[in-house]
Amino acid sequence: MDRFDPRGRVNRALLVGVWEYEHTQPDDPEGVPGHLPAVRHNLERLEDVLRRGGIFGGREETGERKATDGQEAAVGREAAVGREAAVGREDTGGQEGAGGQDAGGSGEVTVLPSPSLDQFSEALRTAAQDADGLLLCYFAGHGAVPSAGDELFLQMRNARVVAGGRAVFPGAEAFTGMLTVLAGSRAERIVVILDCCYAGNAAKVWHDFADRRRILLLMSVQANRLIDSGDGTRATPFTEELAQLLDSNGELSFLKLFDRLRGQMVEAGRRTPLGDLWEPQFAGEPGTDVLLAAREGEPVREGEPEETSTPAPDPGQSSEEPAPSAQSSAQPPRTEPPGGQAGTGPRTGTGTGGPVRLLVALFAVSRARARAVIDRFVGLRTRARVVVSALLVLALAALGAGGYELVYPGGGHSCAPPLELRLLTDPDLEPTVRAAADAYLTSRANTTGHGCRRSGLTVYSAGATAAVTALRRQSDAWQEPRVEDTNPQRDVGPQPDVWIPASGTDAARVTTDWTTRSYVELHPDGEPFAYSPVVLAVPQNLAGAGLDERVGLPLSGLIANLRKQDANVGVLRPDPEFTDSALLATIGLYGGTADSRAAEQAVRPARPPSPTAAELLCALPADRAADGRTAALVPEFLLRSGVGCARTTRVPRIAEYPADVPALTPTFVRVRWEGGDRDAAARDDAVDRFRTWLIGEEGLAAFAADGFRSATESGHRLLDADHAGVGVLRGPSPLPGAARRTAMEEALTRYRSAHGPGRVLYLLDSSGSMSTQWPGPSGGPGILKQSLGGLGAQDDYGVWAVYGTSGDQPYQQLLPFGHHRRTDAEHVVDAEAQVRDAEADPHAALLAALDDMAGRGTDDQRPQLIVYITDDEDSDRLTGKNLDEVLARARKAKVPVDMVSLISGSCDTGRPDARIAEASGGRCLDAGDDPGRGLRDEVARVGTGEH
């Protein structure tokens, strides 16, 4: 472990927070989503904590600072390329000059409130020059990601978004440019902290950056995710957690900070607007660490309550999502984001600096002028020229630099920037489609006689249902986003030229019953170009022995045979909203049953469903015992191609082929947009070239290597018959065909009905023995309040206080059943819930709750849940006939009961809590299971959540 102690060195902290913007929507169509008032509190909290943290000294207040030679040069560069010089321009927040009266001067902590891009660039350069120990740079504000998803832009006060197929971000700092400046510092360690939308996307930029050895990166959220900006009365959620940890006693290193921070964010059950867990990320070379705080004495806290309600996420909050998932110091970041969402842009949340700012200007000048501007960089040292050259190649290609000739410093052959095609696909298909696209880029079919590329390809994926909905009903908002709540460019990605859905039926779903005017035309091929059945991947020791037990049976028959082998076997399926393979599996799952809620209970995971089949297979080995008794509904090709966790030892699985689950039928769909005729001929030619190559032998090679089958030949032979995946049958017969449109729509409707909005009835043991289990976040009321984050405005819920052993009603209603705001519900629990001088009768209370909930679900299939939180002191009333009565009622009511015990061992086999949970189809949680986190996950699956 290489942990650097910066005490006694020249350290610098630059705290940048942008809460006021000059250009905001809806007044300015090119503006950012809005102001971020919480960011002001971020700077106040962090400055106070760092000044007292034992690493950085104080800060000195200064007035307007004199422009340095570097500033003057920067202004000159701006003028040379036609941009207005912003230095000295009055800030909206009243700042002046490079930092304004609130900017730190010569102290070790510099605070930069709502700076323009020029002010930020100068402050960053100064901090980098001054530090020789620790250099810490913090940014909070809006973030933006371009269509390709390979860069992150930090948007300063004067930021704008020039939208379209190739978004440009004036007034924003490219993260690559920021890293370039930081890497020029003499500092021993460089720490970058990003609190903005898409923060996680910075990880890929870091991973591709050559001089990253000293740089540690802490990101507020995963890649391609927005985050909650808070309610504006206090710091943003991520920074509030960060500041509290930095304000603790003793020494705190970067790696320890990340571990604790991520744990606390996950423990709090915070979720992104997409509904998945909000998990901070980090990137750093293995073993690299640095001391960030070394305080003595008691921590000084702000006068703020420890627990507050979680406000509804602000869609406009800047947050970053790194392309990789959370990294440990021993693992390099992944180059693809989880869920296959690489490059869903352009998206904004928290600009272009250095060489990248130059690129924007190149579009406004002639070829000769462009060459002259580039020639200014020829004098740079070799490595700098390489960096600038690479940035020019990538940025000009991505932004579509018309007919300008690309000239490399130092001479050499020049190529016109290739036309960029945008390809949208299903998350399950993305790795294979990306591999095919990569092969095409360097193929002879895409190369001119001079060795230049004819076209580029941006491959990205999005949730299958979101893509269908956007193409079917939101093409106007996709073409010209106006309303923040409906923004396909943010939620799906750029307007595609090519769409490859996992099921060709998706094209029919889009073009049938268009309810509004469409700005898009779809031209799907008449048949798919590849094929893969959805299989039940069964642990090897539980698989059927004969061919007739593996092929030709409906899914219900395969599952029934599986449970004959092991009554405790589980079946899991990914999220049907996210991938076509999961939705197709749901068609078979509902099969001959009219009770979709019961069918969903049969595949109910212990935690929220995995978004993709690959992530489902990766998650199973985490629990070796569960892995050995769990079957997964996944595309067959994954048993050949494997998944990203290939090094993880998994239980070998055998493919069983359900006859009533339609197959994956990837289909090539040309997408044309109204008004997109300026380069229609060139774009059509590029698409036709790619299609011809893709459905030919060279293109299908990627699908053959990953285990796909022929879409057209009888029997759907494997494209690579010599290398069948483990557990895969070479010629199973018969194999199912493509899905019907009505079957997919019906399955999706029934799935949504079975999953929300939900109903939850809480029973809170309020007997006298609960007094020791009452206070704090891990007490009875605390656990209840934490779980409310899984419920949204459309869910119904209520709370009973359980106490009393005589009379007709062994409970008191604290919160009536219905819709509630979380803050209101928490207030009622805080004010009304209290320990009573009485015993409790769980037998009578559970019977009453089961009868109440059974009566509420007679006319729909909304998910329901009963939660009983107790210390089990009165469990002697759940024995003998009393327990038998509760078990019988639970089986009849078919309402899951989650028994949450604050005492360890209450969920052991044979205990009343465990038996009630099992009989009802619920879950038993005790003190050894982290009941707070477990209950939040349970409630989140029933409710619609805070969105």
Question: Per residue in 606-617, pLDDT tens?
Answer: 666 788 998 888
81 and 147 part of one domain:
yes
- C-beta atoms surrounding 927 within 10 Å: 17
Q: Where is pLDDT greater, at 99 or 641?
A: 641
134 and 93: one domain? Answer: yes
Classify burial at 99, counting beta carbons within 10 Å of its beta carbon; exposed 0-12, middle 13-18, buried 19 or more.
Answer: buried
Same domain, 520 and 544: no
Distance CA 585, CA 741 (A): 14
Q: Residue 936: which of 339, 928, 946 has the closest Cα?
A: 946
Crossing angle of helices 38-51/237-246, nearest 10°? 10
282 within some domain: yes
Q: What is the mean pLDDT of the segment spanning 174-183?
A: 91
Phi, psi of 557 (to 5 degrees): -70, -40
Domain count within the chain: 4
Residues 475 and 576 in one domain: no
| Other CB atoms within 10 Å distance of the CB of residue 855 | 9
Q: Residue 4 corresponds to which amino acid?
A: F
Residue 199: pLDDT above 60?
yes
Mean pLDDT in residue range 683-689: 95
Does 832 have pLDDT greater than 90?
yes
pLDDT of the residue at 94: 34
Burial track 498-533 (b if 16+ CB lie within 10 A, e otherwise): bbbbbbbbbbbbbbeeeeeebbbebebeeebbbbbb
233-270 b/e with 16+ CB inside 10 Å = b? ebbbbbbbbbbbbbbeeebbbbbbbbebbbeebbebbb
Q: What is the spatial distance between Cα 467 and Cα 165, in angstroms, rounded to a whole number?
A: 17
- Has residue 751 been placed in a domain? no
Comparing 377 with 902, the larger pLDDT belongs to 902
| Higher per-residue pLDDT: 34 or 643 | 34
User: Of 55-64, 242-251, 446-455, which range is least confident?
Assistant: 55-64
pLDDT category at 163 given cuts 50, 70, 90 is low
Q: Which long-range contacts (CB under 8 A, 24 or more apart) does 413-417 make?
A: 413/450, 413/451, 415/450, 415/451, 415/452, 415/453, 416/452
Q: Is the pLDDT of residue 792 over 50?
A: yes
Average pLDDT over residues 627-634: 90
Q: Which residue has the higher pLDDT, 76 or 115?
A: 115
State residue 96's pLDDT score: 34
- Token pair 């979101």: residue: 466
Same domain for 518 and 546, yes or no, is: no
Polymer length in residues for the chain:
947
Together in a domain, 97 and 119: yes
Q: Which of 79-88, 233-242, 884-893 has the lowest mean pLDDT?
A: 79-88
ω before 608 within 30° of 0 (cis)? no
- The three state secondary structure string of 147-193 is CCCCCCEEECCCCCCECCCCCECCCEEEHHHHHHHHHCCCCCEEEEE
Closest CA to 139 of 195, 199, 197, 223: 195
Please give, one letter per residue, the 3-state secondary structure of 563-575.
HHHCCCCEEECCC
Q: Residue 585 half-sphere exposure, CB side, CA atoms within 13 Å?
A: 33
% of the chain with per-residue pLDDT over 70: 77
Q: Number of helices and strands (H, E) in the chain?
A: 30, 30
Helix (H) or strand (E) holding 142: strand 142-145
Higher-confidence residue of 486 and 784: namely 784
Q: In this predicted structure, what is the pLDDT of residue 602?
A: 77
The per-residue pLDDT for range 449-496, each reduced to its tens digit, is 878 889 989 899 999 998 999 999 888 888 876 655 677 887 788 899
Query: pLDDT of 501-552, one tens digit each?
Result: 999 999 999 988 665 678 899 999 999 999 999 999 999 888 877 788 899 9
Residues contacting residue 95 through CB under 8 Å, at least 6 positions apart: 101, 102, 103, 113, 114, 115, 119
Task: Say yes or no: 867 and 917 in one domain.
Answer: yes
- pLDDT band at residue 324 under the 50/70/90 scheme: very low
CATH code, domain carrying 271:
3.40.50.1460
Measured over the CA atoms of residue 72, residue 73, residue 74 and residue 77, the dihedral's sign is: positive
Which residues is 764 bridged to in the sheet? 801, 869
Least confident of 339-353, 566-580, 587-601: 339-353
For residue 282, pLDDT beyond 70: yes
Range of the domain at 314: 2-303+310-348
Which pLDDT does position 345 carry in this prediction?
35
If asked whether residues 445 and 479 sit together in one domain, one would say: yes
Distance CA 872, CA 14 (A): 53
Shared domain for 42 and 10, answered yes or no, is yes
Between 909 and 351, the higher pLDDT residue: 909
223: pLDDT confidence band, cut at 50, 70 and 90? confident
More confident residue, 119 or 605: 119
- Checking phi first, is residue 149 left (phi over 0); if not, alpha (psi -120 to 50) or beta? left
Q: Is 703 helix (H, G, I), strand (E, B) or coil?
A: helix
Cis-peptide into 146, omega within 30 deg:
no
Query: Rounded to an integer, what distance in angstroms lies between the CA atom of residue 135 and that of residue 86?
Result: 26
Q: Tell me the β-bridge partners of 796.
A: 759
The answer to whether residues 549 and 512 belong to one domain is: no
Do 780 and 817 lie in a common domain?
yes
CA atoms within 13 A on the CB side of 598: 10
Backbone conformation region of residue 318, classed left if phi is above 0, alpha if psi is from -120 to 50, else beta: beta
How far, in Å, are 73, 81, 380, 392, 412 from residue 76 at the CA level? 5, 9, 18, 20, 29
Domain boundary among the residues 524, 544, 574 is at 524
The residue to which tokens 């018309």 are assigned: 402
pLDDT at 648: 57
- Of 479, 495, 524, the position where a domain reaches its end is 524
What integer pLDDT is reported at residue 873 of this predicted model?
A: 92
Confidence bin at 231 (pLDDT 50/70/90): confident
Residue 700, SS3 per DSSP: helix
pLDDT of residue 753: 74
Q: Which two tokens stand for residue 725?
A: 């995946």
pLDDT at position 61 is 34
Residues 434 and 299 in one domain: no
- pLDDT (0 to 100) of residue 62: 32
**Could you report the per-residue pLDDT of 511-524, keeping only the tens digit for each?**
886 656 788 999 99
pLDDT at residue 142 greater than cutoff 90:
yes
Report whether pLDDT(644) > 80.
Answer: no
Would 360 be classed as within a structural domain?
no
Assessment of whether the complete model's pTM goes beyond 0.75: no
CA distances, 486 to each of 315, 466, 481, 489 (Å): 10, 11, 7, 9
> For residue 389, is it within any domain?
no
Q: What is the pLDDT of residue 376?
A: 35
Residue 81 has pLDDT above 90, yes or no: no
Amino acid at 372: A
Tell me the pLDDT band of 325, cut-offs 50, 70 and 90.
very low
In a domain, 278, yes or no: yes
In a domain, 209, yes or no: yes
What is the per-residue pLDDT for 807? 66
In Å, how far are 127, 278, 327, 457 from 406, measured between CA atoms? Answer: 34, 42, 37, 18
- 803, 877 in Cβ contact below 8 A? no
Please give the DSSP secondary-structure letter assigned to residue 85.
P
51-60, 344-353, 624-633, 910-919: least confidently modelled range: 344-353
3-state DSSP assignment of residue 458: strand
Tell me the pLDDT tens digit for each residue of 718-764.
999 888 878 899 989 889 999 999 999 999 888 877 766 889 999 99
CA distance 34 to 22: 10
The strands making up 250-253's β-sheet, listed across from edge to edge, are 2-4, 288-295, 250-253
Residue 403 has pLDDT above 70, yes or no: no
Res. 866: pLDDT tops 70:
yes
Is the four-CA dihedral 571, 575, 581, 586 of positive or negative sign?
positive
Boundary of a domain, candidates 490, 524, 558: 524
Q: At what angle do helices 580-590 and 741-754 cross, to 10 degrees?
A: 80
Helix 464-473 to helix 580-590 angle, to the nearest 10 degrees?
Answer: 100
Mean pLDDT (the chain) is 79
What confidence score (pLDDT) does residue 147 get?
56
For residue 201, the model assigns a pLDDT of 87
Instruction: For residue 663, tell me if it sits in a domain.
Output: no
Tell me if 391 is assigned to some domain: no
Residue 813: give its domain's CATH number. 3.40.50.410
Distance CA 91, CA 580 (A): 49
pLDDT at 30 exceeding the cut of 50: yes
For residue 335, pLDDT over 50 is answered with no
